[in-house]
Amino acid sequence: MTKPRESYVNHLYGLGNCLTSRNSTLVARSRRDLALLRNSFVPGRQFAAYEIVFRNGAPDDEVEQEVWLLVGALYALHPLTKGARGTLGASMGQLAKKIGDGSSVGRRFAQLLARDRAGLPHHLRQAVRLLSAHSTPVNYHRLLDDLTVLLGRDHLGDRAGAIRLRWAREYHVAPTTDTPETTQ
């Protein structure tokens, strides 16, 4: 992960951490920023969240800027990261085991893997909402790196295929203990 990406995701994690602060001004500012990020899903409202993305050293690449905005919005929907391991596939696999309904989660996950660049953001949003409903953490550092490829200019290339394969592997086989745990 490049430094700007890491810094951006750490900023998002900081917004989530501030929600439990005793400082009411900090809590209010964090709630406002998370609301702006959530509202970026609404067409025509993305501009309000650009401030958050750009003040954290957003890349020059417009496609990657959109990925940062998407990850910020996904984080705002579900800021639970403590204990997240591996990829989004690992989180979905953890959820399937947790609720004991692998078939419905599995179908949703298979749909997510099959989506093209245009349909992926919608299905990501639905997956993150499902994870949120069951308090299953997400590793947003890894998600930003993965989505930069899956939604980037190389979305049909070998790297994108490798990411989908890793998601599928981690869905079916829990990540090993040497996979770094996310800190919040």
- State pLDDT tens for residues 90-132: 999 999 999 886 678 999 999 999 999 999 999 999 999 999 9
pTM of the model: 0.90
Q: What is the pLDDT of residue 177?
A: 54
Instruction: Assign 162 to helix, strand or coil.
Output: helix
- State pLDDT tens for residues 41-77: 888 888 889 988 888 888 889 999 999 999 999 999 9
Are the beta carbons of 49 and 68 closer than 8 angstroms? no
- State pLDDT tens for residues 6-46: 999 999 999 999 999 999 999 999 999 999 999 998 888 88
Q: What is the pLDDT of residue 59?
A: 87
Question: What dihedral do alpha carbons 67, 57, 89, 13 form, nearest 10°?
Answer: -130
Measured CA to CA, the distance from residue 24 to residue 100 in angstroms comes to: 40
The DSSP 8-state label assigned to residue 86 in this structure reads S
The superfamily CATH assigns to domain 1-178 is CRISPR-associated protein Cse2 (1.10.520.40)
Residue 179 has pLDDT above 70, yes or no: no
Q: Which of 86, 88, 72, 69 is nearest to 131 (CA)?
A: 88
Amino acid at 4: P
Residue boundaries of the structural domains of the chain = 1-178
Residue 181 has pLDDT above 60, yes or no: no
Instruction: Assign 52 to helix, strand or coil.
Output: helix
